Amino acid sequence: MSYDIAVIPGDGIGNEVVDATESLMVDLAADYGVDIQTTEFDWGSERYLEEGALMPEDGLGTLEDFDSILLGAVGHPEVPDHVTLRNLRLPITKGFNQHICKRPSYLFEGVESPLRGYSGGDIDLVVYRQNTEGEYADVGGREHQGFQNEVAVQSAVYTREGTEAIVRAAFEAATERSGKLTNITKSNAQAYGMVFWDEVVEEIGEEYPDVTVERLLVDAGSMDFVRRPDEFDVVVASNLFGDILTDIGGIISGSLGIAPSTNINPSGEYPSMFEPVHGSAFDIMGEGIANPVGMLLSMSLMFEHLEEEDIAEALWNGVGDQLADPEAPRTPDIGGNATTLDVAGDLESRLL
Ligand code: ATP
Ligand code: MG
């Protein structure tokens, strides 16, 4: 098999984690007889500061023919976050109908959770976040700016296609895992969009009689992510709530630096995109201490999506074995003093 992968290292530590892991990914795949061709794109905030756009106008056309996209991170202190989001991530996720953002939170053996009493394997949940609409729909407007009667409107949009896609993916995952799905909304306060969402969950649920559905409001759900994360298995949530819940999921699993993320186009018509949950983290940029695990696990999820299960598993288990080994190098965010390159190099010597 052979795959063409578009690589967008992006900004800040995005570059560092991609640089440290890209050859490992290619070489590991080669060991399994899989040929990976990578093409790098220098899109991101530096390009915006020089040319006024994070990616070229025909960016989507350029990416369309690739089998998958790997993204490091985008974000820059001199570029407003909404500009970064609206100029790169949203055009890609929306343009390629990447309705599904799947984010596992897994507490690895050897990694310390800030939650008391939790150790390796105790936290093993996966959040299915709607990825193309909801509160990120970019619908709204502002009037009378600077005056006392100023108004800002921000609408959330829930389409049947976008909602069904994420809900179906979550039910499928629940079927493959423990058969439990938690639907997290705020339907008491969001009476149109989220009541519709709940109805879709009920409708699609009828096709999955073996899955037990639990319903939680997001305030209680956030509390329970901290109080009893071991009781969650598959969670489905809107774009904004999924974003917030997965940051909690990341930190209770030890560090934002180890959490992987996916942006999946369910029809397979367009490429899907894989990236760590963390951002560009300019506070540690250039120090060479960014944890590469989030990127590595995202690569594992990419191989899983490409149905290269053996490579996906080798990479995931390799990272797991390394984290479980008290002698192995680890970055400061998880209590070590090693560099990004130390960690990647050690993993190479374990896997290749
Ligand atoms: P962005 O604006 O792109 O979201 P950010 O500055 O908000 O970036 P995040 O990546 O969201 O930063 O991370 C928040 C904090 O978590 C960072 O300031 C950093 O210290 C820490 N962090 C994030 N990712 C990693 C990583 N891979 N390794 C080590 N620490 C990390
Ligand atoms: Mg951030």
Question: Tens of pLDDT along 1-39?
Answer: 999 999 999 999 999 999 999 999 999 999 999 999 999
Select 1-100+260-352's CATH number: 3.40.718.10, 1.20.1050.40, 3.40.50.970, 3.40.1010.10: 3.40.718.10
DSSP string spanning 139-206? EEEEESTTSTT-EEEEEEE--HHHHHHHHHHHHHHHHHTTSEEEEEE-TTT-TTHHHHHHHHHHHHHT
Token output for 243 = 């974003």
Mean pLDDT of 307-326: 98
Domain-wise residue ranges, the chain: 1-100+260-352, 124-252
What lies within 8 Å, CB to CB, of 220 at 6+ separation is none
Q: Is the distance from the beta carbon of residue 277 to the nearest atom of ligand 1 less than 6 Å? A: no
For 146, residues 6+ apart whose C-beta sits below 8 A from its C-beta are: none
Q: What is the pLDDT of residues 205-243, one digit of tens each?
A: 999 999 999 999 999 999 999 999 999 999 999 999 999
Q: What is the pLDDT of residues 276-314, one digit of tens each?
A: 999 999 999 999 999 999 999 999 999 999 999 999 999
Specify the pLDDT at position 284: 97
The answer on pLDDT for 86 being more than 90 is no
Q: Is the pLDDT of residue 85 over 90?
A: no
Q: pLDDT tens, 113-132?
A: 999 999 999 999 999 999 99
**Is residue 334 in contact with ligand 1, taking CB distance under 6 Å?**
no
115 lines ligand 1 (CB under 6 A): no
Nearest CA to ligand 1 atom 4: 279
| 3-class secondary structure, 121 | coil
The residue whose CB lies within 8 Å of the most ligand 1 atoms, and thus the one to mutate among 278, 289, 334, 341, is 278
pLDDT tens digit sequence for 46-76 = 999 999 999 999 999 999 999 999 999 999 9
Q: Provide the pairing of β-strand 234-237 with 180-185.
A: parallel
Distance 159 CA to ligand 1 centre (A): 32
Q: Is 107 exposed, middle or buried (0-12, 13-18, 19+ CB in 10 A)?
A: buried
Mean pLDDT of 134-151: 96
> What mean pLDDT, rounded, does the chain reach?
97
Q: From the CA of 12, how far away is ligand 1's center (Å)?
A: 9
Question: Which burial class, exposed, middle or buried, applies to 64 when counting CB atoms under 10 A from its CB (0-12, 13-18, 19+)?
Answer: middle
Q: Say how many Å lie between the CA of residue 281 and the centre of ligand 2.
A: 7
Specify the pairing of strand 134-143 against strand 151-157. Answer: antiparallel
Q: Which fold has domain 124-252?
A: Isopropylmalate Dehydrogenase (3.40.718)
Ligand 1 centroid–CA 199 distance in Å is 36
Mean pLDDT of 154-158: 97
